[in-house]
Amino acid sequence: MIRILIVEDEKPISNLLRLSLTKEGYACTCAFDGAEAADLLERGRYDLVLLDVMLPEIDGFELMEYIRPMEMPVIFITAKNAVNDRVRGLRAGAEDYIVKPFEIVELLARVDVVLRRWRKNEAVLRVGGLEIDPCAMQVRRDGAEIALTKKEYDLLLLFARNPRRALFRETIYERVWGEEYQFGSKTVDLHVQRLRKKVGWEKQLQAVNKVGYRLEV
């Protein structure tokens, strides 16, 4: 099931969003200030964040800086309708910017567009003998579930969505760990070694000399 985090301090709007999205089959979690949202994002992964700008504790633009390295799509929902605010939101990395008041039918359509753009509504990825369910964060081979850590799962998903493409260690580290790569770090290599064994990709997940890794399927 697709998980959506609603970050909105006005409870009537938060409830409207939660009820409307739940009716469409999404699993929703609500946060009512920026600090609470940051805590939820630290503990779990979401397929989409609906983010107000004017929030207590940490505002939406500041929270966006925290979200961006996580590679989660964000839609701003806000009363700030100045062109400068819209431009700032989009340049910060948001997929869309919806101004209050809005029609719920339009919001649902935009949510669907963003999820399709990010392939979050793709039921199952079938790559290299694996079945990967991005919504449930589950991986199976021949019907048997493979237990992965969150980092191993994120790493697997990165390769699965970029088959036959050489990925630099720097790119892998920044996209999976959300931090700047430190030259000489063995973190990526160690995680790739464990992932190979767990999912049976000893031959498919190949090292690329002086670059990083490439999934050959």
Do both 97 and 31 map to the same domain?
Answer: yes
Q: Please report, in tens digits, the pLDDT of each residue of the chain (217 residues total).
A: 688 999 999 999 999 999 999 988 888 999 999 999 999 998 888 989 999 988 998 988 899 988 888 888 999 998 877 778 778 878 888 899 898 888 888 898 889 888 878 866 556 788 999 999 876 778 999 989 999 998 999 899 889 988 898 999 988 888 788 777 888 889 999 999 999 999 999 999 999 998 999 999 8
- Rounding to the nearest 10 degrees, give the CA dihedral for residues 18, 24, 29, 31: -40
Q: Domain span at residue 31?
A: 3-117
Supply 18's token pair: 């939660």
Do residues 107 and 101 make contact, with C-beta atoms less than 8 angstroms apart? Answer: no
Which H helix or E strand runs over 190? helix 187-199
Look at residues 92, 117, 142 and tell me which one is the last residue of a structural domain. 117
Supply 99's token pair: 């101004």
Do both 147 and 78 map to the same domain?
Answer: no
Do both 137 and 210 map to the same domain?
Answer: yes
Per the DSSP assignment, residues forming a β-bridge with 141 are 144
Among 156, 150, 196, 193, CA closest to 172: 156
> What's the total number of domains in the chain?
2
Do both 78 and 103 map to the same domain?
Answer: yes
* Residue 42, Ramachandran bin (φ over 0: left; ψ between -120 and 50: alpha; else beta): alpha
pTM tops 0.75: no
